[in-house]
Structure formats: C-alpha cells, structure tokens
C-alpha cells in the first residue's frame, strides 16, 4: 500500500502530520513517501506541481493531500500559483468524482450554527464533478472587448462547458451512490439560465432511466443553497458541477459544526484516489497549532475504505474520532463552554490514544 503524502502549505503540514500519526498507529504496513506541493514546491523548485511530485502521485495507490495556497502568491502568474497544484493533480489523474460527506456527529450537534433539531442525525453526501466546468473550460483570459456594453474596454472571460461523457460518468457515480443509500438523488443546476446546466439536467434525466429505483429531483442552485440551511436533512445524495459543488460543500461543512470536520475523496473510477480535507490552507491560523485535524484524519479513513481495501481500519478511525469528541476534546474552531480546548497535535494524539485503547 503505497501512499503519496503531500502536505502542502499553511495548516496543510500540521493536519497531515496528525493523519500520518493516526495511520502509523493502525499496525498496518504502509509505504509512505512525502513530496512538496503548492507554495512549498514553488519555493523549492519554481513550480507548484513539480514533475517529481506528479510522478510520485501517479505511482501511488492513494494520495493524502493537505492544502495549498497563501495570500502571498496572489500576484504570481496563475500557472505558478499554489492552487494549480491541486487542480493539476485532479486533472492529470482524472479524479472526476469528488465525494464530500457532511455528517454531523452527535457530539457536535450544538456546534453548528443551525438549530440542533435541524442537524441532529445529518448525514448527506455531496458529489461534486471535479475536472470540468468553468474551472477548466477553455478559452479563458483577458482581451479587449469586441462587443458588449463597453466595446474596446478590457475584459476577462472564462468558459463554462460540459461534454456528454463528462456528465454521464458523474451521473452514474451519483446514481450508484444513491442506490447504496436512501435511493434519493438531488441534482443541482442553474438550468433556468445556463445552457451547460440544461444539458446537465437533460443528461441526468436520460441516465435516470437506467436507475428506476432511485428517485431523482432537480433543484436550482440558489434554492439548494437556501434549502441546505432550511432543511438539510431533506437531502441525501446531491450531485452537482464543479463550481456549484465547491460552494455548496463549504456551506454543508458548517452543518457539521466546522469546516474542519469535512473530509473528501476524489476518485477516477479506478482504485486510486486523492484524499484531502474540504477546507484550505487557513493562512490566518497556520503555524499556531490551532487547526482542526479531524477532516484530514477522516479523509485518511476514506482512503483506507476506497483505495486501500481496509474498511475495518477506516471504521476504527471513525470510531476513534467519535470517541475523542465524546470525551469533550475540541480544537478552537468548535470549542464551546463545557468542552476541553486542545491544539492540533493534542487532537491527533487523542485519536491515536482512542484507537489503541
Ligand atoms: P480556508 O478553508 O483555508 O479557510 C477559511 C476559514 O476557515 C479560515 O478562517 C480558516 O482559519 C478556517 N479553517 C479552515 N480549515 C480549518 C481547520 N482545519 N481548522 C480550523 N479552522 C479552519 O479558505 P480561504 O481562507 O478562503 O483560503 C485560504 C487559502 O487556501 C487560499 O489560498 C485558497 O486558495 C486555499 N484553498 C486551498 C484548498 C485546497 O488545497 N484544496 C481548498 C480551499 C482553499
Ligand atoms: C477546494 C478548493 C479548491 C477548489 C481550490 C483551492 C482550487 O476550494 O478543494 O474546495 O476550488 O476546488
Ligand atoms: Mn473549496
């Protein structure tokens, strides 16, 4: 079991260290190899995703990723910015299916910004298409406007596009995931305005014919954003495009108590996958030992389940996380009166302790 470990920038290094601690405590044989990625790789090699890092990722059974990015790179040419590393990995490895499960653990019901009754027992799965949409669509750039309200003015443009096979493959992933759960799938789009979204909706409806046992509902993204905070438990599996999925998954993260609780798996239809928390490098708290490592530790559990064929070990990690939460341990993002405030490393140590006792 070869795991490429890519901590990245900011809190990435701190949270991945804790996930590695937890993996090492399982008593399984892993081959872990680390490499620089993001701003850290740019500093050392002049590129956020050096060839050597990409090669390591390609050869691994699974990739454990932290986060990339820092405000100090905002003025760099886009191709050299840290975020290109994660975008490049997703694209190069064809990781088109991103699973972001938003589960509100019983112990954190009071930590969400929503009323407890709205989120108690919440367990929804956001499936985000990850290699298409306006994130990757060409052409994009800056130019002088040929038409529009200000001809001759400088303008910028991106292209939102989806091909039929890209939509079909994510649709199959979503229907199959829904089949294993409550058989309820919500497809989120903006078909009332966007042609890509109407196409998305049409293809989803066509593929639905192959999954008559699954109930399919279409919802516009603005309404979905509202419904997610009004009645989140009305959802089960949600499938959507790259950009809407990015935004809705951060929103869903807060239903679980903290952005520091939402893990993710990015899959390409083979056993190989990339596992990362849904949050970023949090430059505002980096280097202070304050970050919540649980999203990354839970991502490592997803890695054991989806890529490494170790479901029992994955279950042990998830149980250990629940145990430390039941002990009242909380990093500052979810600390509240009556709980014990701990730092990043103490949280990791507590999970290890809970695993082994
Ligand atoms: P962010 O997710 O890094 O942080 C948003 C807020 O959530 C901050 O207040 C931060 O302190 C807090 N937060 C995030 N993770 C936390 C954790 N584990 N524990 C406690 N608090 C946590 O988003 P941002 O501030 O918009 O972006 C910062 C940088 O991260 C940017 O450069 C952005 O591009 C990058 N980013 C990278 C990824 C990735 O690598 N996949 C994902 C999102 C953002
Ligand atoms: C995420 C992040 C990334 C995205 C950025 C850093 C490119 O926000 O993983 O959610 O937008 O996909
Ligand atoms: Mn995001």
Evaluate whether ipTM surpasses 0.85.
yes
User: Would the CATH topology of 1-95+269-357 be identical to that of 123-255?
Assistant: yes
The answer to whether the beta carbons of residues 306 and 299 sit under 8 Å apart is no
Cα torsion 191, 195, 196, 199 to 10°: value is 70
Of 123, 158, 236, 250, which residue is the catalytic one?
250
Whether 246 sits among the annotated catalytic residues: the reply is yes
Written as one string, the DSSP assignment of 67-109 is E---GGGTTS-GGGSTHHHHHHHHHHTT--EEEEEEE--GGGG
Domain residue ranges of the chain, discontinuous segments joined by + = 1-95+269-357, 123-255
Task: Check the annotation: does 184 bind a ligand.
Answer: no
Question: What are 92's two structure tokens?
Answer: 């190069």
Atom 27 of ligand 1: nearest residue by CA position: 280
CATH architecture of 123-255: 3-Layer(aba) Sandwich (3.40)
pLDDT of 336 strictly over 90: no
Look up residue 110 and give its DSSP letter.
Answer: G
Q: Tell me the three state secondary structure of residue 207.
A: helix
CA angle 324, 266, 105 (to 5 degrees): 25
CA angle 90, 92, 96 (to 5 degrees): 45
β-pairing verdict for 97-103 and 265-267: antiparallel
279 alpha carbon, closest ligand? 1
Written as one string, the DSSP assignment of 282-325 is -TTTTTTT----HHHHHHHHHHHHHTS--HHHHHHHHHHHHHHH
β-pairing verdict for 62-67 and 215-220: unpaired
Per-residue model confidence (pLDDT) at position 335: 87
Residues 145-161: what's their mean pLDDT?
A: 97
Residues 48-76: what's their mean pLDDT?
A: 98
* Distance of alpha carbon 292 from alpha carbon 238, whole angstroms: 26
Question: Cβ-count burial of 150 within 10 angstroms (0-12 exposed, 13-18 middle, 19+ buried)?
Answer: exposed
- What values do phi and psi take at 143, rounded to 5? -165, 180
Tokens 């192959």 label which residue?
Answer: 210
Instruction: Answer whether 263 contacts ligand 1 (Cβ < 6 A).
Output: no
Confidence label for 111 from pLDDT (cuts 50, 70 and 90): confident
Residue 42, H or E segment: helix 39-45
Atom 11 of ligand 2: nearest residue by CA position: 246
Query: Residues in the chain, how many?
Result: 357
Written as one string, the DSSP assignment of 223-282 is HHHHHHHH-GGG-SEEEE-HHHHHHHHHHHHHHTT-GGG---EEE-SSS-EEE--SS---
Whether 189 sits among the annotated catalytic residues: the reply is no
Question: What are 154's two structure tokens?
Answer: 């400088």
Task: Check the annotation: does 100 bind a ligand.
Answer: yes
Task: Check the annotation: does 170 bind a ligand.
Answer: no
CA of 296 to the centre of ligand 2 (A): 15
Among residues 57, 76, 63, the alpha carbon closest in space to that of 296 is found at 63
Residues 178-196: what's their mean pLDDT?
A: 98
Residues 24-53: what's their mean pLDDT?
A: 97
The CATH number fitting domain 1-95+269-357, selected from 3.40.1010.10, 3.40.50.620, 3.40.718.10, 3.30.429.10: 3.40.718.10
CA of 246 to the centre of ligand 2 (A): 7
Confidence label for 286 from pLDDT (cuts 50, 70 and 90): very high
Written as one string, the DSSP assignment of 158-176 is ------HHHHHHHHHHHHH
Mean per-residue pLDDT over the chain, rounded: 97
The answer to whether the beta carbons of residues 249 and 102 sit under 8 Å apart is yes
For residue 67, give the ligand 1 atom closest to its CA. Answer: 40
Q: Which residues contact 51 (CB under 8 A, 6 or more apart)?
A: none
Task: Check the annotation: does 282 bind a ligand.
Answer: yes
CA of 338 to the centre of ligand 3 (A): 31
Tokens 């990093």 label which residue?
Answer: 331
Per-residue model confidence (pLDDT) at position 46: 97
The answer to whether the beta carbons of residues 299 and 277 sit under 8 Å apart is yes
Of 9, 246, 333, 349, which residue is the catalytic one?
246
Instruction: Answer whether 254 contacts ligand 1 (Cβ < 6 A).
Output: no
Residues 286-314: what's their mean pLDDT?
A: 98
Whether 250 sits among the annotated catalytic residues: the reply is yes
243-277: pLDDT as tens digits: 999 999 999 998 999 999 999 999 999 999 999 99
Look up residue 133 and give its DSSP letter.
Answer: G
Task: Check the annotation: does 281 bind a ligand.
Answer: yes
Instruction: Answer whether 354 contacts ligand 1 (Cβ < 6 A).
Output: no
* Distance of alpha carbon 307 from alpha carbon 27, whole angstroms: 18
87 alpha carbon, closest ligand? 2
Confidence label for 113 from pLDDT (cuts 50, 70 and 90): confident
321-332: pLDDT as tens digits: 999 999 999 999
Question: What are 275's two structure tokens?
Answer: 């596992």
Residues within a 6 A CB radius of ligand 2:
69, 83, 86-87, 246, 278, 280
Whether 42 sits among the annotated catalytic residues: the reply is no
High-pLDDT (> 70) share of the chain, %: 100
Written as one string, the DSSP assignment of 53-74 is HHHHHHHSSEEEEEE---GGGT
Residues 141-161: what's their mean pLDDT?
A: 97
């Amino acid at each position: 079991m070869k795991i490429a470990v890519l901590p990245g920038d900011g809190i990435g290094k701190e949270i991945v260290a804790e996930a590695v601690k937890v993996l090492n405590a399982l008593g399984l044989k892993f081959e872990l190899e680390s490499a620089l990625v993001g701003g850290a790789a740019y500093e050392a090699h002049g590129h956020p995703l050096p060839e050597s890092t990409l090669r390591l990722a390609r050869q691994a059974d699974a990739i454990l990723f932290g986060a990339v990015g820092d405000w100090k790179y905002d003025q760099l040419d886009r191709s050299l910015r840290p975020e290109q590393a994660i975008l490049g990995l997703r694209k190069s490895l064809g990781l088109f299916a991103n699973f972001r499960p938003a589960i509100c653990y019983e112990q954190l019901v009071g930590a969400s910004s929503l009323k407890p009754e709205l989120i108690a027992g919440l367990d929804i799965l956001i499936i985000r298409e990850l290699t298409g949409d306006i994130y990757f669509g060409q052409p994009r750039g800056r130019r002088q406007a040929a038409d529009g309200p200000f001809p001759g003015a400088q303008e910028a443009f991106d292209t939102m596009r989806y091909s039929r096979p890209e939509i079909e493959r994510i649709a199959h992933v979503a229907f199959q995931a829904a089949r294993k759960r409550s058989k309820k799938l919500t497809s989120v789009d903006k078909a009332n305005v966007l042609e890509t979204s109407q196409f998305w909706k049409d293809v989803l409806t066509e593929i639905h014919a192959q999954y008559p046992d699954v109930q399919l509902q279409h919802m516009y993204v603005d309404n979905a954003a509202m419904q997610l905070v009004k009645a989140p438990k009305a959802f089960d599996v949600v499938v959507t495009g790259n950009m809407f999925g990015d935004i809705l998954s951060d929103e869903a993260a807060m239903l679980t108590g903290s952005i520091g609780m939402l893990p993710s798996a990015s899959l390409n239809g083979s056993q190989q996958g990339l596992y990362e928390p849904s949050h970023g490098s949090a430059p505002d708290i980096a280097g202070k030992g304050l970050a919540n490592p649980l999203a990354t530790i839970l991502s490592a559990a997803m890695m054991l389940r989806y890529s490494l064929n170790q479901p029992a070990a994955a279950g042990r990690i998830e149980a250990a996380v629940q145990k430390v939460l039941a002990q009242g341990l909380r990093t500052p993002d979810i600390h509240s009166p009556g709980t014990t405030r701990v730092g990043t490393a103490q949280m990791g140590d507590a999970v290890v302790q809970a695993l082994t006792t």
